[in-house]
Amino acid sequence: MGCARHLILATATAAVRNALETLMTTVFKDEFIDRIKAEGHAEGRAEGAADLVLRILAARGFTTPSRVRDRVRSCDDLSQLETWGIRAVTATTLDEIFRD
């Protein structure tokens, strides 16, 4: 048991313990859940954008080596994925799309 928790249990009144328990199970829990949801949403958007880049490449007839697929799938920067997607629409080589 953590020192702070032990101190609170040993010295706080029942009302204080109940208030702290409520705070921990509502406010902090809700903030944690909201943060996890936001991270998951951003991750999902990046995955969708990466899939779109790869679909554009396939539709345009590009052969995408595994190093390119891995680079696209591992990218979590939506701005970078958007840049690659825009380039993929008109580029004639993979180098044009993935130049830095």
pLDDT digits (tens, 9 = 90+) for 3-20: 666 666 667 777 777 777
Q: Do residues 88 and 60 touch, judged by C-beta distance below 8 A?
A: yes
What is the C-alpha to C-alpha distance for residues 99 and 73, in angstroms, rounded to an integer? 17
Q: What is the pLDDT of residue 79?
A: 92
Q: Tell whether the model's pLDDT for residue 36 goes beyond 60.
A: yes
- Alpha helices by DSSP H, the chain: 3-11, 14-23, 29-59, 66-74, 78-90, 94-98
pLDDT in tens, 38-69: 776 767 888 999 999 999 999 999 999 999 99
User: How many other β-carbons are positioned within 10 Å of the β-carbon of residue 70?
Assistant: 11
Q: Do residues 77 and 86 touch, judged by C-beta distance below 8 A?
A: no
Q: What is the pLDDT of residue 16?
A: 74
Question: Which two tokens mark 41?
Answer: 């949403």
